[in-house]
Chains A and B, each alone.
Chain A
Amino acid sequence: MSLVKKHKLKIITLILYLITLIYNQDIFIKSIYTTGGYLKEMVQILPAVFIVSGLITVWVPKEIIIKNFGKDSGLKGKLISVFIGSISAGPIYAAFPVAFSLFNKGASISNIVIIISSWAVVKVPMMIVEAKFLGYSFMLARVILTIPAIMIIGYFTNKFVEKEDIKSKVNGNRYEKYILEIENILPKFNCGGCGYGNCNEYAKAIVMESESIDKCSVMEDKTKTKIKDIVCKVSEKK
């Protein structure tokens, strides 16, 4: 059952394609052709995006991110965020891993929203195409209105969403607090390198089953010490 749930999207897609193939071959071929175009874009962009995200996670110290993108980074932080978003390539889904790795290093919610939004909308090569088909005044008006709008979207998202909303996945458990604490300082990439499905499961295993804390290959030594402290607190309670 859980297998079906896990592959729900794939199953639905394949069934719909099958129905289309039987019902209308022209549309089927057209869809395959468009998918090919998407695939080409994904293959060009995603590896680079993931490499950059991985490098940020491993190399960039938290302090630098907090200083430039944290909640006290002010207008400068917002402008850097717009800049990063607008020079990056690829559709919006490529922005998520990069924004996520910045968030885990201490970037504010408002700034990651700005990065995601400007990644999607404010694009120099796209502006040229837009001007060609819709005229310069249309393009300029849209850009001039969009940049402040993106900052406002960031401001409001920041108002309504807490950091914990992103970091925590609720589970009723009296050790929940500790699981959450550990999960919050894990790299949160849900890479599965520790053998568990995601960081939450690994954190749970550390607290509930006294799993070794050496399984995470992405963790810094500093983090390890912190986790050790939490594990000590847990064993006092047990």
Chain B
Amino acid sequence: MGTIILIAIAVIALGWSFFKDKKKTKESISLASKLFKNTFTEVFFLMSLIALLLAWIPQSLIKSVLGNPNELLSIAFGASIGTITIIPAFVAFPLAGSLLKSGSNLVAIAAFLTTLTMVGFATMPIEIKYFGKKFTLIRNGISIIAAIFIALGIGVIL
């Protein structure tokens, strides 16, 4: 759904640009294709590395770690797993759902889901390429802290 909207926006904007000014459109496209060439292989190899990592770590391990009876420990584990890995949403939510059913800690799951999407160890090399080391480290660092607070907040609300 979101993908279709994004592609539609790109196509409409490109069409508008072409109608308005062919030279500027050519510039945008050459810029886009250079960006694409620059980033694509790197992202691809990063993602295949993550895929390999995920294949090696069995889901049962994630389950046992997030279900740790020590609440604080399970939050820490949830946040770290979420930070290190990138799991696509369509895998992560069903996994989180089954974890919840099997009695995992709600706060740990919230920490896991929030860091999973907002903090990316795996995507850090790409972020550094655009924004430099300092920005990347600080943004991700603060996000981890915020994610833990969000998780604790959910624990209070629910």
Q: Which of B64-72, B73-81, B86-94 contacts A (4 or more CB under 8 A)?
A: B86-94
Which of these, A12, A39, A50, contacts B32 with CB under 8 Å? A50
Q: CB-nearest residue of chain A relative to B122? A: A93
**Any chain A CB within 8 A of the CB of B51?**
yes
**Any chain A CB within 8 A of the CB of B108?**
no
| CA of A135 to CA of B100, assembled, Å | 11
Q: CB-nearest residue of chain B relative to A124? A: B2
Which of these, B13, B27, B52, B123, contacts A93 with CB under 8 Å? B123
Report whether A87 and B126 are in contact in the complex, using a CB–CB cutoff of 8 Å: no
**Any chain A CB within 8 A of the CB of B43?**
yes
Q: Which of A69-77, A188-196, A203-211, A223-231 contacts B (4 or more CB under 8 A)?
A: A188-196
Q: CB-nearest residue of chain A relative to B133? A: A165
Report whether B6 and A49 are in contact in the complex, using a CB–CB cutoff of 8 Å: yes
Report whether B3 and A89 are in contact in the complex, using a CB–CB cutoff of 8 Å: yes
| B1-14 Cβ-contact flags toward A at 8 Å (1 or 0) | 11101110111011
Closest beta carbon of chain B to A148's beta carbon, Å? 9
Closest beta carbon of chain A to B99's beta carbon, Å? 10
| CA of A130 to CA of B92, assembled, Å | 9
Q: Which residues of B contact A93 (CB under 8 A)?
A: 39, 43, 120, 123, 126-127
Given known A-B contacts A120-B118, A129-B89, A96 and B42 have beta carbons under 8 A apart: no
Report whether A153 and B142 are in contact in the complex, using a CB–CB cutoff of 8 Å: yes
Taking each of A44, A97, A132, which has the highest tally of chain B beta carbons within 10 Å of its own beta carbon?
Answer: A97
Q: CB-nearest residue of chain A relative to B125? A: A9
Q: Which residues of B contact A121 (CB under 8 A)?
A: 114, 117-118
Q: Which residues of A contact B96 (CB under 8 A)?
A: 133-134
**Any chain B CB within 8 A of the CB of A13?**
yes
Report whether A130 and B93 are in contact in the complex, using a CB–CB cutoff of 8 Å: yes
Given known A-B contacts A133-B93, A191-B38, A169 and B56 have beta carbons under 8 A apart: no
Interface residue count on the B side (C-beta < 8 Å)? 79
Report whether B55 and A34 are in contact in the complex, using a CB–CB cutoff of 8 Å: yes
**Any chain B CB within 8 A of the CB of A5?**
no
Q: CB-nearest residue of chain B relative to A100? A: B130
Which of these, B7, B100, B131, contacts A44 with CB under 8 Å? B7
**What size tier do the contact residues of chain A reach?**
35 or more
Given known A-B contacts A13-B45, A55-B13, A100-B130, A48 and B125 have beta carbons under 8 A apart: no
**Any chain A CB within 8 A of the CB of B150?**
yes
Taking each of A32, A50, A124, which has the highest tally of chain B beta carbons within 10 Å of its own beta carbon?
Answer: A50
| B89-128 Cβ-contact flags toward A at 8 Å (1 or 0) | 1100110110010000010011001100110100101110
**Chain A contact residues, CB within 8 Å of chain B:** 9-10, 12-13, 16-17, 20, 27-28, 30-32, 34-35, 37-39, 41-42, 44-55, 57-59, 87-93, 96-97, 99-100, 103, 109, 113, 116-117, 120-121, 123-126, 129-130, 132-134, 137-138, 141-142, 145-146, 149-150, 152-153, 156-157, 160-161, 165-166, 169, 189-193, 217-218
Nearest first, the 6 A-B pairs at minimum CB distance are: A133-B97, A89-B2, A54-B32, A34-B51, A48-B10, A191-B34
**Chain B contact residues, CB within 8 Å of chain A:** 1-3, 5-7, 9-11, 13-14, 17, 24, 27-36, 38-52, 54-56, 86, 88-90, 93-94, 96-97, 100, 106, 109-110, 113-114, 117-118, 120, 123, 125-127, 130-132, 134-135, 138-139, 142-143, 146-147, 149-150, 153-154, 157-158
